[in-house]
Structure 1
C-alpha cells in the first residue's frame, strides 16, 4: 500500500485530531493463515487481548467473553477516550466478537462451556486459585474439550509460591530487573514507556498457542501454555543477564550509554539529538572517513571494540564536539550516504507521521459500527508483500452476544431474552 499526500493537501484539510491525518480503511477479509481456528478469550486489560488480537490478525475467529457489567477492565481506562470509548481498549481488540456473559453462575458457566466445546484455543488471565474457583482452570475446560489448547497469562505463572499473587505490567517490570537498568546514570529506576511486559507476554502467549496448534495436528493432544509477565519481561534482559552471569559485571543505569558496543548511544547535534551505532570495525572506520578524519579511526588505541570500550570517554567527547557543529539533518544525510546506522529520536507525533511506516500500513483509521473512525496500529507483519487488514473494528460490549449464542450455543431468541432479564448476558440491542 502506498500513501501519497502533499504537504499542501495536508495543510488544506481541517484536522482536529492526529488520527485525522491517517488513511481511513474499511474492514476486510484480512490474512487467512489461521482461518477456521476459533479462540475464546476470557482475558482483560492488555496482555491477553494483545495476544488474541495477533491471532485475530492472522485469521482466527476470536470470541471475547466479557462481564455484562462493564466488560473488559480496559474499557474504563482513560482519558483519553474517543466518543466515550477507551483508546487503550481500542488498541488491542480489533477483529473480535464481544459476548457479554456472566459465567460466575451455573447457567452462565454452562453457556461458556458450550462455546469452549467448539473452540480450539482459550485464553485466561486469572490467578490459578481464582480460575479454579470460577471453574475455568485448565482441568475444568479440558474436561469439556480434551484437545483444547489452554493458554494462561498470569503475573508469576501457574506454579510456585507466587502463583496466586496479583500483578500488573509495572510490577512485572520491577521484578524482571529492567527498571534497574533503565534511566539516567545515578537517577531513579524507570519503567519502560509502554506496557512492555504485557505486550511481550501477549506475543509469547500467541506464539505458544500457534505452536501447540501445529503440534495438535500430529498428536491430537491439547496443551497447557503457561506464560508469566515476569518471565516474558525477564527474557527481554537475556543479553544483560547472561553477560552478568558469565562475567560478574553488574549492569547499572546509564541513560542508554553503556553497551557492549563501544559507540552505541545518543549524541547532541547543533539542534536535535541523534542515535549512532558503530557496531563493528568497518562501521567505525567508515564513520571517521565520512566525517573527514580517517586517521582517527586508525589509531592503535581504537583498533578493536575492546580497545574502544577502554577509551570510550575520550571517543565520546570527540564525537560529541564534532556532531554539535552541524544540524541533525546534515549528519543524518551524511551518515545515511555512508551506510552508517544513525537516526532521529522521534516523538510519538513524529512516529505516526513517518511516511515509510504509513506506507507499510502501520497506522490507519478503521470505521466501526457507530460510524467512528478508530485509530489503529498495525501488527507490523507483512505477508506476501502486504500488511494485514482488520476484519472489524474493536467491538462494543456485547455486540455479538446474540450472534454467537445463537450460532454456537443454540440459544434461541426467547432464551436470550430471559438470560438478558436475569442479567446473565448483555445484548447490543435487547
Structure 2
C-alpha cells in the first residue's frame, strides 16, 4: 500500500532530512535511521523517560523508523552503512557534502557501486558555489537569508526569528516530492539519481509571489506598517473582547459585504469610497471605520456577521485552540503515536491524507540504536562484523 516495499536509509539530524524520511515512513516505506553513537541532537530537546514518556520533538521527525547506531568515522561503520545501502532504494542525508566526500559517502563516490540508489541531499544553500558547505538552519537560511523574514515583518517592527522547524518542514515536503519523482523515473530507466533540495531554494519558492515580482520589476512592496497598507478592509482587526480577526478580500463585492457587517451601508453611496480607492487617506478612513466597529463586537459576533456574508476571514487563533478544535481533527491534523514505553500520545500528522486507505501511523520513534542488531543481521552481516560496530 502506497510506499510499501521501498527501503529508505536516512543519515540525517535535526529536522529537514529526518522529517522527509518520517513522511515516507508514514506512507509505508521501511526507514532505517542511522545515528552516531551520540544520537540525533533533537533527542535532547525533551525528556523521554518512564516518568515523561515520548519526546514530541524527536517523535515528530522520527516516528515509525528503525534505529541503528553506526560510527561512520570508522571503516567498520562505513562498511556496515554500505551493506544497508546495497538493497536500499533511497538514501537521505543532510550531512554537509564536504564531510560526506571525506567519508566516501557522497553521491559521486556511491553511484557506481549503487546505480539504482536515489540519493537525496538536503542542504542549506545547494551543492555548488562557495557557500555550498556553509552551516545553515532554517532560521538562518530559510527565514533570514532568503528575504522571507524581511518580506513578512513590517518595517516598523524589530525583526524576530521564525519558530523552530518552520522552513525545515517546507523543505522536507519538497524533498519528498523530488524523491518520488526520481522513484517514478527509475521505473523506466532502472537507475537512481541525485536529488538536491535546499533551505534557500525552498524559501525562494515559498515567497515566490513577492520574489517573482521583484525579479520581473526590480522591486516589490512587502510588509508595510499597518497605516500604510493600501486596502482598508484587509488585514487584522481587534474585537471588543481583546481578540483579533483577519479579513482577506477576494472580490470587489467584499467591500460591500464588510460595510454591511460593520453597519456602515451609507458608505456605499458615497462617491469618495468608490473602488478602487487610491487615496491613502480615504483608505485610512475605511480602516478606522472597521477598527471602531469591530471594537464594539465580540469575536463571535463579528465572525457570525462575516460568515453570514461569505467573507473570507479567520480568527487569530492559538495553538491550544487548534489542538482542541473539531475542524483540525476533521482535517486530519493529528495522529496518535506510540511513546515507546507502552503508551501513546497525540502528535502532528503529515500534510497529506489518503481517504481511501493508507498505512496506519502508530509506531513510536526508535530508542537510540534500538534496532541495530536486527537490521544488521537482516543486511547479512556476520556476528563478528556486527560486534565490530557495536
TM-score (norm 2): 0.91
Match of 1:268 in 2: 238
Match of 1:405 in 2: 376
For structure 1, which runs of at least 5 residues remain unmatched after alignment?
Answer: 1-31, 426-430
Match of 1:325 in 2: 296
Tell me: CA distance 1:414–1:147, structure 2 relative to 1, closer, same or farther (3 Å): closer
> Contact between 1:264 and 1:279, CA under 8 Å: does it hold in 2?
no
For structure 2, which runs of at least 5 residues remain unmatched after alignment?
Answer: none
Tell me: CA distance 1:217–1:261, structure 2 relative to 1, closer, same or farther (3 Å): farther
User: Aligned partners of 1:257, 1:354: CA distance in 2, in Å?
Assistant: 33
> Contact between 1:363 and 1:377, CA under 8 Å: does it hold in 2?
yes
User: Aligned partners of 1:174, 1:384: CA distance in 2, in Å?
Assistant: 37
Match of 1:180 in 2: 150
Match of 2:200 in 1: 230
Which moved further from structure 2: 323-332 or 85-94? Answer: 85-94
Equivalent residue in structure 1 for 2:32, among 37, 51, 63: 63
> Contact between 2:54 and 2:341, CA under 8 Å: does it hold in 1?
no
Which moved further from structure 2: 347-356 or 377-386? Answer: 377-386
Deviations 1:175-202 (A, max 9, x none): 1011212334412122223422211111
Match of 1:313 in 2: 284
Match of 1:22 in 2: none
The secondary structure found in structure 1 opposite 2:286 is: helix
Tell me: CA distance 1:96–1:295, structure 2 relative to 1, closer, same or farther (3 Å): same
Once the two structures are TM-superposed, the CA of residue 302 in structure 1 deviates from its matched residue by: 4.0
Once the two structures are TM-superposed, the CA of residue 71 in structure 1 deviates from its matched residue by: 1.2
Match of 1:123 in 2: 92
Match of 1:44 in 2: 13
Tell me: CA distance 1:215–1:261, structure 2 relative to 1, closer, same or farther (3 Å): farther
Tell me: CA distance 1:320–1:256, structure 2 relative to 1, closer, same or farther (3 Å): closer
Match of 2:43 in 1: 75
Once the two structures are TM-superposed, the CA of residue 78 in structure 1 deviates from its matched residue by: 4.1
Match of 1:168 in 2: 137
Tell me: CA distance 1:42–1:250, structure 2 relative to 1, closer, same or farther (3 Å): same
User: Aligned partners of 2:260, 2:192: CA distance in 1, in Å?
Assistant: 59
User: Aligned partners of 2:147, 2:33: CA distance in 1, in Å?
Assistant: 33
User: Aligned partners of 2:226, 2:340: CA distance in 1, in Å?
Assistant: 44
Match of 2:179 in 1: 209
> Contact between 1:182 and 1:256, CA under 8 Å: does it hold in 2?
no
Match of 2:170 in 1: 200
User: Aligned partners of 1:328, 1:277: CA distance in 2, in Å?
Assistant: 16
Once the two structures are TM-superposed, the CA of residue 358 in structure 1 deviates from its matched residue by: 1.9
The correspondence of residues 22-171 of structure 1 with structure 2, limited to 5 A, is 32-67=1-36, 69-78=37-46, 83=52, 86-171=55-140
Match of 1:10 in 2: none
> Contact between 1:382 and 1:388, CA under 8 Å: does it hold in 2?
no
Once the two structures are TM-superposed, the CA of residue 249 in structure 1 deviates from its matched residue by: 4.3
Tell me: CA distance 1:183–1:282, structure 2 relative to 1, closer, same or farther (3 Å): same
User: Aligned partners of 1:324, 1:336: CA distance in 2, in Å?
Assistant: 18
Once the two structures are TM-superposed, the CA of residue 301 in structure 1 deviates from its matched residue by: 4.4
Equivalent residue in structure 2 for 1:337, among 285, 308, 317: 308
Match of 1:221 in 2: 191
Once the two structures are TM-superposed, the CA of residue 168 in structure 1 deviates from its matched residue by: 1.2
> Contact between 1:113 and 1:144, CA under 8 Å: does it hold in 2?
no
Q: CA RMSD in A?
A: 2.5
Deviations 1:3-39 (A, max 9, x none): xxxxxxxxxxxxxxxxxxxxxxxxxxxxx21111111
Once the two structures are TM-superposed, the CA of residue 353 in structure 1 deviates from its matched residue by: 0.7
The secondary structure found in structure 2 opposite 1:370 is: coil
Tell me: CA distance 1:261–1:199, structure 2 relative to 1, closer, same or farther (3 Å): farther
> Contact between 1:368 and 1:393, CA under 8 Å: does it hold in 2?
yes
> Contact between 2:67 and 2:366, CA under 8 Å: does it hold in 1?
yes
The secondary structure found in structure 2 opposite 1:151 is: strand
Match of 1:9 in 2: none
Tell me: CA distance 1:258–1:224, structure 2 relative to 1, closer, same or farther (3 Å): farther
User: Aligned partners of 1:179, 1:35: CA distance in 2, in Å?
Assistant: 39
> Contact between 1:266 and 1:276, CA under 8 Å: does it hold in 2?
yes
User: Aligned partners of 1:253, 1:307: CA distance in 2, in Å?
Assistant: 18
Which moved further from structure 2: 57-66 or 364-373? Answer: 364-373
